[in-house]
Amino acid sequence: MKQYPGSCEGRSSMKNKFLSIPTKPIEVNPDMSCSDLLRGLEGCSFQGRQLALAAKIWSEALDEDIAVWMGLAGAMVPAGMRKIIVTLMESRLIDILVSTGANLYHDYFETIGHHHFIGTPHVDDKVLREAKIDRIYDTYVDEYIFLELDKQIAEWAIETLEDRPYTTREFLKLLGEEAARKSNGEKGVLSTAAELDIPIYCPAIGDSSIGIALAEMPRKVMFDMIGDVEETAKMAASKPTMVIYVGGGTPKNFIQQTEVTNIVLNRDVQGHKYAVQFVVDAPQWGGLSGCTFEEAISWGKIAADAKSVTVLCDATIALPIVTAAVVTRRKGKVRS
């Protein structure tokens, strides 16, 4: 006899479809690691479960022969995330970094011995202006040191750069080597990437204090931005990819467009295979920063069957916790 959803048997079948996995309250204990915490959150709800899935997808994807791309936006380095990125590089948990110029400038700034300072957003900014103190929400920095550093970068560029166009990868490797020379052993993003030969791209390098510093040179520095596009597209086509977006902005879009570039060039690509993003932007305003991975599928940027998760959370909360969990789970494992 044919059953309909309105029948008892039909309703039971529908319920079983949706009510198959119960939630499981998380338990904590004094010996719990970040990895343990996130495994416990897999049975919970809301952004706790999303955070747990980010660690799960990231750590399991590394069992495959993939290239892991990270897009780093916002002011993550002034916020204290510099050594998180260094750890990700040294642990070989990321392979290519695309960053804003601001993060890289602040990284150079800290690597050679300067500091950002704990402040407060509840301050008279006119007083800070008089003192030449720049504010990044609740973080302060001495503007005079920025001005001096700009001059140093310009002088270095004059002495170092040839009269030819540079991809941002080439330029940033040279800058990373200079950071290492001036660091007194302090590790930074640029210096570690140069040491480990991890490529860094900065598609909006002019939109940063690096660009401002180079404007002080008597001759113009030429960047081969199309070379960046060509290089990254070839890299994305060479093996399956995982993308991790810390915030959105230009780094996210630049990594996303590698797949679109390959589609235009008639290369056989399927979109990024794994995708994790830590964002706070909403998708309904149409901006790329808040763009969902589902929307990205329509462009061919993300594979239709990709394993993906979006964590709606401040990256200064999510990134350290997930990184700690992934580092723990990958301990002793060597990537192919």
State residue 76's pLDDT score: 97
State residue 1's pLDDT score: 46
Q: Name the burial class of residue 149, with classes exposed (0-12), middle (13-18) and buried (19+) by CB atoms within 10 angstroms of its CB.
A: middle
Q: How far apart are CA 28 and CA 155, in angstroms?
A: 54
| Residue 146 near residue 134 (C-beta atoms within 8 A) | yes
State residue 224's pLDDT score: 98
The per-type count for the chain, helices as H runs and strands as E runs, is: 14, 9
Residues with pLDDT less than 50, the chain? 1
Q: How far apart are CA 106 and CA 146, in angstroms?
A: 9
- Name the residue with tokens 């780094």: 251
pTM of this structure: 0.95
CATH numeric code, 31-330:
3.40.910.10
State residue 309's pLDDT score: 98
pLDDT (tens digit per residue) in 229-274: 999 999 999 999 999 999 999 999 999 999 999 999 999 889 999 9
* Residues classed as catalytic: 301
